[in-house]
Each structure stands twice: as structure tokens, then as C-alpha cells.
A and B are shown apart, each in its own frame.
Chain A
């Protein structure tokens, strides 16, 4: 029951399973236990889910406290809905290896791109170095 009609509030989401996407790209799944006025979140039985291609892996993380400003998306997971996904769950070691390879490939393409731009006298700063301002 929404205490505040006509508004959006996280109070109704408490004690439910949620998926949250953070600004650093991580995906966490856990039970939302506590919130505050800044939308800082406390997750219980948290699992970090890493996706690489069609594979994913879950790393159990325990209790997580997320600072509100770092949240991109937050959504409730419907546990009753049947899970019909094409994604394949693999072991932690495997997914971490996959991730490492993915990162490596990405870095190499980035490096080539930067070199090409540099040759042409252009430089595009990386997004994570930029501040919001």
C-alpha cells in the first residue's frame, strides 16, 4: 500500500528481490532491506551477476550497501514469473575467464582506435574520466 498516493517511493519495494544496475556497470541481485532519503540501498543475500555474451555467472556477495547516486536502474524481480531465458549459467571461474578475455579484446580495439585518431590529430576523452560537468 502506497503511503503517498500520486508519488513514487521505494517503501513498497522493501523485502522484495531486486535487480540493480550500477554506474560502474555491475549488476547486483538481492533483497532490498533498507532505504533512506537519498535512495541509498541495503541489499541482503546479494549476488553479482556477470554477463558475457550468452553466458552468465553468479558470485555471492552477502550484504551490499549501495550509495544512491551510483544507481542507474533498479527493478523488482517477479519470482513467480517462469524463467524462460536463453542465457546459460556457468561456473564462476569460467565466467571470470570469459570476462577477462572480453576486457582484453575491448582494450585492444580501443587502443587501435585511439592510435588511428591520434594519427589524424583527434582525441576523444574516455567517458569514465569525464565528470558530469
Chain B
């Protein structure tokens, strides 16, 4: 064995020996050494030469309490779990994954049918602002959602969203309507809102809420341009509704016709009525 190898083993063994309180952990050696020193000191009281007995000195290496439970090797596809006595094995790093900071991160959840069901159950418990954020995400990404709704799971969200809509103020409502109607392509707009059940139901719910607010007599506190946007939307929607063949919605609010009567002529209203039924 080379000297280096011997040194390495010695060093390894020394590291294992070091301790914070040697008098507690290595009492017998400490005591033995103390006695030996005392005896030597006594003997050397006559002679002036200082002869120190060899003492065990462990190398000073700071103990690191931190350890990386999961080691990621560069270029590898997975992680290697380092198991110590403090943590046998960390199989999944679940801690970092769930931190949705931006609302956009909800979208992946909504694309899965399970995510939709989950969100539908969750919505009633959210605070109003958070619930509205969800509504905004849905309305802004409606084309995407409807495109990828292969299992037709979107309708599960309808009841919960309808309740959220029921709590919107006029300004907030206008905001949502703007989101819906501001899609770039007209065909997408038409398809989403009229030809697909969920979109149509959502639209009806929004219009119904608007009508409810207007006819309730409660002061609306609208922002500038709200009323114009509202009437514009009505005309736009009515125009489309009267021309397309509509699917049956999840729920037909009762005050829609009243709303249309207010803004549109009798003929259009009559046409809408027959279309919607």
C-alpha cells in the first residue's frame, strides 16, 4: 500500500472520530490522556524538558448539515436520489411543482376534463376576484378551450361560471363581453358563441346579467364607454343570432327577450324569438 493510500484511510477514520463534545463521547480516552499528562508533568517537574505525549487530533472539518437529496447529473434525463439516514429516498419533488403564479398557468388545467371538473368544484369557494380571473381566462381562451374539448366536458363549468357572472358589476360585465367579442376572426366568434352549446350558454348568461342589472334600478356606476359597448354588443349579437341556426343552450334565461325588445325593432325580436326556441 502506498503512503497516500494509508493516509487516505487514516484521514477517513479521523473524520468519523471528530465530535463536538469529546468528554461526552470519548470519555475514557480523554481521561486516560489527562492522567498521562498529569503524570508526565509530575515526572518532569525535576527536568525542564517538555515532552508531550502524542495526542489524537482529529482534522477540523466543518460538518455540513445540508445535503442535496436529489442529484441531477448534467445531460442525464432523470435524477439520482441520494439517500441518507435523514431522508431515505426522495422519490418525487412535489414541493416545487405546485406554485401557479400567473393566471395563465390555469389554462393547462382547463384543457384537461378532470381539470375542468376540479375547477367547477373549486369556483364556489374562491374569492370574487379570483373567480372573476377564472372567468376571464375562460372567455379569453374560449376558442382554444372549445377546440380542445374533445370530451365535451366544458358544460360542467357552466353552473359555477353562471354564478360568478351573477355577481359581476356592470363594468366588469362589459369587460367580459369585450373579451368574448374581440376575437380576431369573425368565424371563430360565430362558431364559439353560437354553434357550440357552452359558448352560447355563456353568452346568454352574460346578456341576462346585463339585463338584470339594468332593470334592477340599482345605481350601476359604469365606466366611460360602458353603455356604448353594451349597446354595440347587443346589436352585434342580435345581428348574428338572427342569422345563424342556434344550438340549444344549457339554460335559456327568461329576461333575454325583454332585453332585445328594449333595443331592437319588433321584426328582429320576432326573428330572434323563433330562432332561440
**Which chain A residues have a beta carbon within 8 Å of chain B's beta carbons?**
3-7, 9, 11, 14, 33-37
B1 touching A5, Cβ below 8 Å: no
A35 touching B10, Cβ below 8 Å: no
Instruction: Decide yes or no whether B55 CB sits under 8 A from chain A.
Output: yes
How long is the Cα–Cα vector from A18 to B13 in the complex, in angstroms? 22
Instruction: Decide yes or no whether B158 CB sits under 8 A from chain A.
Output: no
B13 touching A9, Cβ below 8 Å: yes
* Contact flags B1-22 to A (C-beta < 8 A → 1, else 0): 1000111011011100100000
Residue of B nearest to A7 (CB): B56
Residue of A nearest to B33 (CB): A6
B56 touching A4, Cβ below 8 Å: yes
B13 touching A7, Cβ below 8 Å: yes
How long is the Cα–Cα vector from A35 to B10 in the complex, in angstroms? 11
- A7 neighbours in B (Cβ, 8 Å): 13, 17, 56
- A9 neighbours in B (Cβ, 8 Å): 9-10, 13
Other-chain residue from A3, A4, A14, A37 in contact with B1 (beta carbon distance below 8 A): A14
In the assembled complex, 12 residue pairs joining A and B whose CB atoms fall closer than 8 Å, in A order, are A4-B10, A6-B29, A6-B33, A7-B56, A11-B10, A14-B1, A34-B5, A35-B1, A35-B9, A36-B9, A37-B12, A37-B13
Other-chain residue from A4, A5, A34 in contact with B13 (beta carbon distance below 8 A): A4
Question: Which residues of B (21-35) have their CB < 8 Å from a CB of A?
Answer: 29, 32-33
Q: How far is the CB of B138 from chain A (nearest CB, A)?
A: 59
Question: Which residues of B (93-113) have their CB < 8 Å from a CB of A?
Answer: none
Residue of A nearest to B6 (CB): A11
- B33 neighbours in A (Cβ, 8 Å): 6
Given contacts A4-B13, A5-B54, A6-B29, 12 further A-B contacts (CB under 8 A): A4-B14, A6-B32, A6-B33, A6-B55, A9-B9, A9-B10, A11-B10, A33-B1, A34-B5, A35-B1, A36-B9, A37-B12
Q: How large is the interface on B (under 10, 10 to 19, 20 to 34, 35 or more residues)?
A: 10 to 19
- A5 neighbours in B (Cβ, 8 Å): 53-56
Residue of A nearest to B17 (CB): A7
**Which chain B residues have a beta carbon within 8 Å of chain A's beta carbons?**
1, 5-7, 9-10, 12-14, 17, 29, 32-33, 53-56
How long is the Cα–Cα vector from A34 to B5 in the complex, in angstroms? 9
B29 touching A34, Cβ below 8 Å: no
- Closest 5 A/B residue pairs (Cβ): A5-B54, A6-B56, A6-B29, A3-B10, A37-B12
Q: How far is the CB of A35 from chain B (nearest CB, A)?
A: 7
A11 touching B9, Cβ below 8 Å: yes
How long is the Cα–Cα vector from A9 to B13 in the complex, in angstroms? 9
How long is the Cα–Cα vector from A9 to B11 in the complex, in angstroms? 12
A3 touching B56, Cβ below 8 Å: no
- A11 neighbours in B (Cβ, 8 Å): 6, 9-10
- B14 neighbours in A (Cβ, 8 Å): 4
- A33 neighbours in B (Cβ, 8 Å): 1
Residue of B nearest to A5 (CB): B54
Residue of A nearest to B14 (CB): A4
- A34 neighbours in B (Cβ, 8 Å): 1, 5
Q: Which of A5, A6, A33 has the most CB of B within 10 A?
A: A6
Q: How far is the CB of A54 from chain B (nearest CB, A)?
A: 38
Residue of B nearest to A34 (CB): B1
How long is the Cα–Cα vector from A33 to B17 in the complex, in angstroms? 25
- B53 neighbours in A (Cβ, 8 Å): 5
Q: How far is the CB of B97 from chain A (nearest CB, A)?
A: 38
How long is the Cα–Cα vector from A34 to B6 in the complex, in angstroms? 9
How long is the Cα–Cα vector from A42 to B53 in the complex, in angstroms? 33
How long is the Cα–Cα vector from A3 to B9 in the complex, in angstroms? 11
- A14 neighbours in B (Cβ, 8 Å): 1, 6
Q: How far is the CB of B2 from chain A (nearest CB, A)?
A: 10
- A35 neighbours in B (Cβ, 8 Å): 1, 9
